[in-house]
Structures are given as structure tokens and as C-alpha cells.
Structure 1
Amino acid sequence: MRDLPTVVARMWGRELVSRRGPRRGLTLQQITDAAIAIADAEGLAGVRMSSVAAGLGVSTMALYGYVTSKDDLLTAMVDAAAPEPPEQGDLSWRGYLSAWTRANRDFLASRPWLLQVAPLTPPVGPCTLRWLDRSLTALTGTGLTAAEAVNITATLSAYAVSAATLATAMSGTVDEAGGEGLDGYTAMLTRLVDADGYPGLTAALESGAFGVAPEWVEDADFAFGLTLLLDGIEALVARRKEG
């Protein structure tokens, strides 16, 4: 059996500790906490092995005793930055997956740098694997296969990433008139497209389909898309029961 990757073993507390050599003075949590603080303040571009080491008051080489590369550091950061998944309690599978997807979207949007890393990093840490586990557990008893449950979880996770990415992008859109967010984006599109070249988009703009919800966390567009996905899952569950 292959050994676990070093950083994964450390994330799970399964690293074999050598009795030889000097005793280590740092922990993986201290390193990830320092890296996350930099990412929150400066974005992912500010996270370098040297900047993390400087924040901890150690040499850059000292970090390599805990994370063997920046990729390892990013893997540990993704798990450390994720909150605990919501508990299902008395919620139905549909109610829970709705809450699960919203919570997923919200914590990604709260730390935009995660959007550059999390979608490219398969869940391997204790916390990110709990997110996967809770979604699969909620679908237990629905009649769906394990493979279908995994695909559903991947689809909902991708939707959360997409929604968080769009919300982050919209918050930085500014038009010449000073309009920000979706208002600015809509104003810019109105100036760019016409009915001859973009008939469908023009009709949508004229109908006000790109309106702004008062609170994006309760965004009607997000709820609409999530409802479509959950309706599709519910239809699949019904087909499995009929079959």
C-alpha cells in the first residue's frame, strides 16, 4: 500500500514522528493559519513560502519540514479555511442539500481566493471530506446508487462555485457612469449589444431579466437555479422508486 502524501498524513495526524533530530517548533495549523491570514488580506498572490515564513518569524527552509511545496500548503489551506458543513437534523434530503449548497456558496464567496484553489483541489482533508460525507449521507435511502450520489454532490458543489464566482465578479464590475455590480454590468451590456446580433440577450435586457436582488445571499437567481437542480434530483429519485 502506498504511503499517504506527507501533507495529507499531517492533516489527519497520521504522520510517523521520528525520534531522531531536533524537535519541531511549529505545527501545520500555525502555518496554514498564517497563510490564510495573508490570503484574506492580500489574495492568493501574496501567499508565498517566504511571506508565510516571515509572518511566523522563521526561515523559509523551516517550512519545508511541514509542507514540501506550495501546492501542499494550498491543499492544507483549503481544508483549514472551510467551516464545518451544516448538520442535517430533521431536514429532508432536499432541504439539507439546499442548505448544504447555500452554505458552500457562502463560504467560498466570503474568501474569494478559495475560488482559485478549491475547485482544483480534490477533498482530502478532514473538513472538506466531511462536506462530501454529509451530502452523500443525506441521499442515503433515496434509492440512488452511490455513484449517482457522488455525481449529484459534484454537480451541486460546481453550482456553488459558479454562483460564488459570479457574485465575486459582479461585485467588481463598474461602468463609466459609476454603477457597480450587476447594475454596472447590465448598463455595459446595454451599450454593447443590439437586436440584430444578439436578439435573445437584447430581449432579456429589455425585460429586466438582469435585475438585482436586495440581498445576494437570498438571490432569486441562485434559488431558481438550485430549484432546477433539486427538481431534477427529485425526479431521478422518483424514477428509481418507480423502477
Structure 2
Amino acid sequence: MRRRVIDKGQEIPTIVARMWGQEPKTSHGPRPSLTLDRITEAAIGIADAEGLAGVRMSSVAARLGVSPMALYGYVGSKEELLTAMVDAATPPPPEPGGQHWRDYLAAWSRAYRDFLLGSPWLLEVSPLAPPTGPRALDWLDRLLVALSGVGLKPGEGVNIATALSAYAVSSAALAHSLRGGADETDMAAPGDYGAILARLVDPARFPGLSAALGAGAFGGGQEWVEDADFTFGLGLLLDGIEALITLRAKEEQ
């Protein structure tokens, strides 16, 4: 098997370098009046108030009292601005603090979902892109710390972080939609969705779905409990991780 050689001289994208505080240094001319932190703070304020559609280079510049061209010395495009915004809006992760790995991963996943729900515009900005900023990498690091010593193979901890973060993203997106946060649908709860499906689904074509509807899987007059659904799915994932850890321990015997 050929090993991939990591080029440690690989050039870091400018926006990523700035996210890590590696601003170009100069001893000539006046001190710059802007910083990436100021720009992202202004952009996040607009996104929180108006949604992502309100974030434009012109609107951010107006909020800062500068010309749009002044921003391009710090972010080369709106895409770069969004990249920096996502990391800047990411809060610190919960600390492992000696917790059992399962308890920590449950808390980690819940906190990940909750901060996305707190700023729903994050769900529109490639939330599954590989993390490159310091705040996003804090989340990956803490999860790997919690899993250290459980006997997983190299790379499996990263795969677990990918699975849990993807679950948190999808759960946050669903919860946001069912709270009435999505423009595409007026259905405010699974019961509404189920009522519409019941009028559309032919039992001959969709026997499994029809049976689930008849059993009340989509509400059926019952109150939807958002956290119960999230906890159920998270438990399945954690059970799978626990089974993997048990398997790796048996392989070492």
C-alpha cells in the first residue's frame, strides 16, 4: 500500500491563516483600521438579525462604515467571509472533564445541535465541510481526547466525530424546519406532515410507509417531542460506537 506523503510546505489559504491570527505584518504605513474579527462580528450580527440573505459585502461594509473595497484586503470573496463567519460563530465545546466517553459524546452531540439551532443560518453554510478554523477544530480535538485510550484504531475517532456532527446537523435542520423556520413548508409539526402523507400514500405502493402512518409514527394526534427523537437516534449511534470499542478490545485479546 502506498502511503500518502504530507507536504508540510503546503501553502495555507489566506483566509485560513487569518482565522488563526496570522495577519500579514508590516512596519510601514498606518495601522489597518479593520481586522477579520471586526468584519466577521459585523457579518454575524447581520446574519443573526436578517438571515444569511442579508449578508453581502456591501451590507457588512455599511455596518462598519467603510467602503466594500476595504473588506477585500481581509476576505477575498463572500465565500471566504462565510468560512470565517462559521468559525467565529462556533462556541467553545464542552470539556470532557473526566467523563465516561459515552456521556461526553452525548453532551458533545447535543451541544453541537443546540448551537446550530441558536444560529440557524449556520445550517446554510456547508456545515459538514471539514473544519479548518481554530474554534471548529476545538470540537474535534475534545471528542478525540474523550475517546483516547478506548482502543480504537487510528482514524476511527475522526470517523465518529464525522458521524455525530452529521447527525447533529441533520437533527438541527429538521428541528428548525418543524419549528416553522423553513420557507419551503407550512407544516409546523410531524402531525401536519403525517396528515398530508395519509392523503397521498397508497398502501399498495407504499405498504411500509402506510403501516407506519397507521401506527402514528408521524404524529397521529400525539405531541411531537423533539428531544426524545434526538435522544433516540443518538442512542443508536452511541450503541454502535460502544459495539466497535468492544470489538476492538476483543481483537487485542
Q: With structure 2 as the length reference, what TM-score do the two structures score?
A: 0.88
User: Are the counterparts in 2 of residues 108 and 115 from structure 1 also a CA contact under 8 Å?
Assistant: yes
Partner of 2:199: 191
1:141 to 138, 141, 149: 149
Q: Which amino acid aligns with 2:84?
A: A
User: Are the counterparts in 2 of residues 108 and 164 from structure 1 also a CA contact under 8 Å?
Assistant: yes
2:186 to 153, 157, 174: 174
Stretches of structure 2 that go unaligned for 5 or more consecutive residues are 1-8
Question: Once superposed, which parts of structure 1, at least 4 consecutive aligned residues long, lie more than 6 Å away?
Answer: none
Alignment of 1:165 onto 2:173: yes
2:43 to 35, 56, 74: 35
Q: Which amino acid aligns with 1:181?
A: A
Where do residues 11-30 of structure 1 align in structure 2 (5 Å cutoff)?
11-30=19-38
Q: Which amino acid aligns with 1:174?
A: D
SS of 2:198's equivalent in the other structure is helix
Separation in 2, partners of 1:205, 1:49: 47
SS of 1:119's equivalent in the other structure is coil
User: Are the counterparts in 1 of residues 96 and 145 from structure 2 also a CA contact under 8 Å?
Assistant: no
SS of 1:146's equivalent in the other structure is coil
Q: Which amino acid aligns with 2:32?
A: R
CA RMSD of aligned residues (A): 1.6
User: Are the counterparts in 2 of residues 67 and 73 from structure 1 also a CA contact under 8 Å?
Assistant: yes
Q: CA offset at residue 63 of structure 1?
A: 0.5
Where do residues 1-243 of structure 1 align in structure 2 (5 Å cutoff)?
1-172=9-180, 173-175=185-187, 180-211=188-219, 216=226, 219-243=227-251
Assess, with a 3 A threshold, how the Cα gap between structure 1 residues 240 and 228 changes in structure 2: closer, same or farther.
Answer: same
Stretches of structure 1 that go unaligned for 5 or more consecutive residues are none
User: Are the counterparts in 2 of residues 213 and 220 from structure 1 also a CA contact under 8 Å?
Assistant: no
Partner of 2:3: none
Query: May I ask how many residue pairs the two structures share in their alignment?
Result: 237
User: Are the counterparts in 2 of residues 75 and 121 from structure 1 also a CA contact under 8 Å?
Assistant: no
Separation in 1, partners of 2:157, 2:150: 10
Separation in 2, partners of 1:213, 1:61: 52
